[in-house]
Amino acid sequence: MDINGKTAVYGIVGNPVGHSLSPIMHNAAFSSLGENRVYLPFQVVDIAQAVQGLKALNIRGVSVTIPHKEAVIPFLDEVDPVAQKIGAVNTIEVLVSEQGRKLRGSNSDWVGANRALSVHCDLADAKVVVLGAGGSARAIAFGLLEAGAGVTLCSRTESRGRNLAMELGCDWQPLSILEKLTGTVLVNATSVGMVPNENESLIACRDLEKFRVVMDIVYSPLETQLLREARAAGCHVVQGLDMLLYQGAAQFELWTALPAPTEVMRKALLIATGNQA
């Protein structure tokens, strides 16, 4: 890749971001199409200052990850209606006009989750338990509800979980009674299981057989403790890499107005995680 003064810069803002595979995925896509663009990781603690920096440095667009998906919203110039309803942003595009630069937030997480899960079940008939009440849980639960699924949020913090469930119009249950819940699909929408806590899971092995499909949004490691145990219990498993791929493809198309080279992006992700493409 020849980086020069005309190279358009994109990136991901979060804390941490060292584990992120988004740079590998997007740079492979740019390269395959001969685009003079580059995608970089930016570790960000102060999201307010970082957002202002996007305009000053002429960054063209960024992905937003943990813990900034909700916190970033007040600092954007525009938020699309879907992201506004979800209450979380994972994509920012920089709009340039005669009046200057504006930052517009949107959300592709729900698109990625729905596409990844729909391979394994009919979402319109699914009963889904979503673990978590953060930005990812918001987006995933929203997408599932839009597809006609029945959703139960399950979280440790009651106030946050209940408030989110009320906003979305779905059920909430405390994590303490997770062993009593059943459904078609279980989704871990928390960071539990991510490196360096890769030996952790929120649900006991014996309770996984109550679900037909188990998805984990964590992709570092690729095969989380949850997914290993779900596979052993006979469940269909959906890796975080699938959601990452499809939400990334949606981001790519938003930023570039070009069809995303999905198979190129998939191959890059598989190679990066030590799997054969």
Catalytic amino acids? 69
Length of the chain: 277
CA–CA separation, 62 and 167 (whole Å):
27
Identify the CA nearest to 35 among candidates 52, 53, 55, 60: 60
Which of these, 29, 20, 74, 87, lies nearest to 47 by C-alpha position?
A: 74
Give first-to-last CA distance, the chain, whole Å.
22
> How distant, in Å, are the alpha carbons of 7, 241, 251 from that of 215?
36, 10, 21
Question: Among 14, 21, 13, which residue's Cα sits nearest to residue 57?
Answer: 13
